[in-house]
A and B are shown apart, each in its own frame.
Chain A
């Protein structure tokens, strides 16, 4: 069963603006991962943050993790039209569990 929840479900912004997506989860985790999916395609891994990390950067992406609130956020700065996609968070459980628990996703539209 899916336990992650992202909000907002859909987000529409203008090019150049920042986009923030949030993810909440319910159980203890080993790490949390963010993926991107272009329409009709597979998913691409963006960034992974460990449970003992609070913030991580990769290019224009910034991910935060608050384990006390069981939540994470993904910030895309200076968005581009090419960032238009769905973004999913997924949690890997503690204990080297091999299955990821997926969120429902945020659909991001970046308007030129």
Chain B
């Protein structure tokens, strides 16, 4: 159980266009999802916390208007990279928690398989 599906797995787009990445929790409800960015051979950088039915919480230095997050249902969060530029090329990964009585907000994360974005 606890499967997170992320699509697309890779996308190539032209500079100036927008790209939407979807993150779905397939067998559980996720009131909170997390969007990360990862550069080659580096750790995860949290971009924003996506909250169902409310605005996302962005980390310092992440442009809200650049990286639009929508969490319209308990099983779907989307990240839209608007007016993409080559420097936005990266590996984007979403994750979600299965809340348990034991762990609550500190339970382990379940990750999607990531999206490789290349902006030409």
A interface vs B, CB < 8 Å? 2, 30-31, 33, 35, 40-45, 48, 88, 92, 96-100, 102-105, 107
B53 within 8 Å of A by Cβ?
Answer: no
B106 adjacent to A31 (CB under 8 Å): yes
CB distance from A23 to the nearest CB of B (A): 12
B62 within 8 Å of A by Cβ?
Answer: no
**Which chain A residue has the least Cβ–Cβ distance from B6?**
A42
When A and B form their complex, what is the total count of cross-chain residue pairs whose Cβ atoms lie within 8 Å?
60
B109 contacts across to A, CB distance below 8 A: 33, 35, 43, 45, 100
For the residues of B in contact with A, the DSSP-based class is: strand
B112 adjacent to A96 (CB under 8 Å): no
B108 adjacent to A96 (CB under 8 Å): no
B114 adjacent to A40 (CB under 8 Å): yes
Q: Closest 4 interchain pairs by CB? A: A42-B111, A45-B108, A92-B106, A98-B105
Size category, B interface: 20 to 34
CB distance from A88 to the nearest CB of B (A): 7
A42 adjacent to B93 (CB under 8 Å): yes
CB distance from B30 to the nearest CB of A (A): 12
A41 adjacent to B113 (CB under 8 Å): yes
**A88-B44, A102-B44, A107-B41 given as contacts; is B114 within 8 A of A41 (CB)?**
yes
**Which chain B residue has the least Cβ–Cβ distance from A92?**
B106
For this complex, 12 residue pairs linking A to B, each with C-beta atoms less than 8 Å apart, are A2-B43, A35-B111, A41-B113, A42-B111, A43-B44, A44-B111, A45-B108, A96-B105, A100-B109, A102-B44, A102-B46, A103-B43
A92 contacts across to B, CB distance below 8 A: 106
CB distance from A7 to the nearest CB of B (A): 13
- Mark contacts of B41-68 with chain A using CB atoms, 8 A cut-off: 1 yes-contact digit, 0 otherwise: 1111110010000000000000000000
